[in-house]
Structure 1
Amino acid sequence: MIAYLARRLGQAVLILFGVSVITFALLYLLPADPVRQIAGRSATPETVANIRRELGLDQPFLVQYGRYLAGLLQGDLGRSYLQRSEVSELIAARLPASLLLMAGAIACELVFGLTMGLIAAVKRGSALDQGLMVASFVGVSAPQFVVGLLLLYVFAVRLGWFPIGGYGSWRHLVLPSVTLGILGAGWYARMMRSSMLDVLRQDYVRTARAKGLSRAVVLLRHALPNAILPVIAMVGIDIGLFMSGIVVVESVFGWPGIGQLAWQAIQRVDIPIIMGVTLVSACAIVLGNLLADTLAPFIDPRIKLQ
């Protein structure tokens, strides 16, 4: 286990290094000029040149990246161009809200997706099965901002069950969590149905039925732990997907997380914040996949870490 974790952590470092290089290069080639955002439209060429020199943006790419990487190795994500604050402090202030929203979304997609997939597999070929699969297809296909606006209109504006936006109570969490969870629920429902159908054809399931075990015991104790393994692997990937989709959802619902911070930074070409959020998202993807791979052998002892 220790050797496996050490090898995976080494791979994670290389992945994060690659992400930092690619992201920094793309931002370096970006047509928009962050100095103009800082100086303002009425700034003189001398003022623009002074700001560019002060920030080190007049240096070649390798010099700029080398300086950024040296700070990154010391835990320094840089300083925001416009907010004049440390990027690490800005992200740390917003991260708890994003993690809370992510946890709520994962809970929603697992509850809805696994339930739909299990019912569809048990009722294979029925109208209920077909209806659930159509619903899962719609959930996968629907844009998140459209889903979010529809949920806001129905449950916040028309029915008044939940607040329109903001942060602070469980009622603020419900609609954005469901909006994020609907996409994953659709995938999980289809995956769970397919995996459960494969498991139900296995010999040990037929043996359990032949022993006279109840249908619920066969499904929950024997079939579900094996059918759920592909879903566990998907949860780790979903953490990264949430980090990308969370930008839209947080903007729609006014949720004060790192997604909203990233959106504001993109609009203002605040490169240090964009880099910081990208690296934090990449870390979440890597750690999520590592966690999923590590938990798999505890659920199914036949799986060996290599």
Structure 2
Amino acid sequence: MLAYVARRLVQSVLILLGVSLITFALLYILPADPVRQIAGRSATPQTVENIRRQLGLDQPFLVQYWHYLTGLVQGDFGRSYLQRTEVIDLIVARLPASLLLMAGAIVCELVLGLTMGLVAALKRGTATDQALMVSSFVGVSAPQFVVGLLLLYVFAVRLSWFPIGGYGTIWHLVLPSLTLGILGAGWYSRMMRSSMVDVLRQDYIRTARAKGLKRLTIILRHALPNAILPVIAMIGIDIGIFMSGIVVVESVFGWPGIGQLAWQAIQRVDIPIIMGVTLVSACAIVLGNFVADLVTPFIDPRIKLQ
């Protein structure tokens, strides 16, 4: 176990290093000039060059990246060009809202997806099965901003059941969590159905039926723990999907998380914030996959970490 953890930690560091290098390189070759955003349109060429020199943006790429990397090792994510605030402070202030939204989305996708997949597997070949699978396909295919706007119009504007936007209560959390969760629910329902159908064909399920065990007991105690394993492995990957979709959802619902912070930084070409949010998102993805790999053997002892 310790050897596995050590190996994964080394791999995680290398992945994060690669993400930082690629992101920094893409921002370096970006046509937009962050110095112009800072100086303004009326700034003189001398003023622009002075700001560029102060920020170190006049130096070669490798020098800039090395300075950023050495600061990153010391916990320094840099300073926002426009807000004049430490990036780590901005991220820490916004991170709780994003984590709350992510937790709500995971709950929504698991409740919806596992329920739909389980019912579809038990009703395999019926109209219920087909209806649930069509619904899951629609959920997977629909763009998140369209789903978000549709939920806002129906449940916030027309029915007035939930707030139109904002942050602060459980009611503000429902619609954005559901918007993020519908996509995952579609994947999970299809995966859960396929896995459950396969498990229900196994010999030990037939043996349990032959012993006279109740159908509910067979499903909950024998079939479900094995059928749910692929879903658990997918939760870690889902964090990456959430981190990409959270930018859109937070913008639609006015949710004050790091997604909204990233969107504002992209519009203003605020490179330190973009880098900081990207690295935090990459850390969340790596950590999610790592935790999923560690939890799986506890659910199924047959799986060994190597």
Q: Take 1:185 and 1:277, find their aligned partners in 2: how far apart are those partners?
A: 26
* 1:25 aligned residue: 25
Give, in whole Å, the separation in 2 of the partners of 1:273 and 1:48: 21
Secondary structure in 1 aligned to 2:75? Answer: coil
Match of residue 296 from structure 1: 296
Matches within 5 A, 1:1-306: 1-306=1-306
Instruction: Give the drift of 1:295.
Output: 0.2
The CA distance in 2 between the partners of 1:273 and 1:209, in whole Å, is 58
Counterpart of 1:210, as a letter, is A
Aligned-residue offset at 1:2: 1.4
How far apart are the structure 2 equivalents of 1:227 and 1:103? 23
| DSSP 3-state at the match of 2:64 | helix
Output the CA distance in 2 between the equivalents of 1:164 and 1:198. Answer: 43
What's the CA shift string for 1:86-105, capped at 9, x where partnerless?
A: 00000000000000000000
Aligned mates of 1:3, 1:191 — CA distance in 2 = 32
* Superposed displacement of residue 76, structure 1: 0.7
1:8: how far off? 0.3
After TM superposition, the score normalised by the length of structure 1 is 1.00
For each residue in 1:215-273, what CA deviation from the matched residue of structure 2 results, as whole angstroms up to 9, or x when unmatched?
Answer: 11101110000000000010000011101100000000000000000000000000000
Query: What is the root-mean-square deviation in Å for CA atoms of aligned residues?
Result: 0.4
Number of residue pairs aligned between Structure 1 and Structure 2: 306
- 1:175 CA drift (Å): 0.1
1:129, distance to aligned residue in structure 2 (A) = 0.1
Distance 1:38 1:147 in 2: 36
Q: Distance in 2 between matches of 1:254 and 1:266?
A: 17
Aligned partners of 1:149, 1:202: CA distance in 2, in Å?
44
Shift of 1:293: 0.4
Tell me how far apart the structure 2 counterparts of residues 248 and 35 of structure 1 sit (CA, whole Å): 26
Instruction: Measure the CA separation in 2 of the matches of 1:164 and 1:268.
Output: 26
Secondary structure of 1:82's counterpart equals coil
**Could you report, residue by residue, the CA deviation over 1:10-54 in whole angstroms, capped at 9, with x for unpaired residues?**
100000000000000000000000000000011110000000000
Query: CA shift at 1:80, angstroms?
Result: 0.4
Which deviations, in whole Å up to 9, do the C-alpha atoms of 1:99-138 show, x marking residues without a partner?
Answer: 0000000000000000000000000000000000000000
Residues 159-196 of structure 1, C-alpha deviations (whole Å, 9 max, x = no match): 00000000000000000000000000000000000000
Distance 1:245 1:155 in 2: 21
CA distance in 2, matches of 1:136, 1:91: 34
Cα distance between partner residues in 2 of 1:215 and 1:266: 54
Measure, in 1, the Cα distance between the counterparts of 2:205 and 2:102: 35
Greater than 4 Å deviation, 4+ residue runs? none
Alignment-mate amino acid for residue 212 of structure 1: G
Whole-Å separation in 2 of the counterparts to 1:161 and 1:13:
45
Aligned residue type for 1:169:
T
Give the distance between the partners of 1:2 and 1:158, measured in 2 at CA: 55
Question: What SS does the aligned partner of 1:37 have?
Answer: helix
SS of the aligned residue for 1:135 comes to helix
Unaligned runs of 5+ in 2: none
Q: For 2:5 and 2:207, locate their aligned partners in 1 and report how far apart those are by CA, in whole Å.
A: 37
* Cα drift, residue 3 of structure 1: 1.3
CA distance in 1, matches of 2:66, 2:235: 35
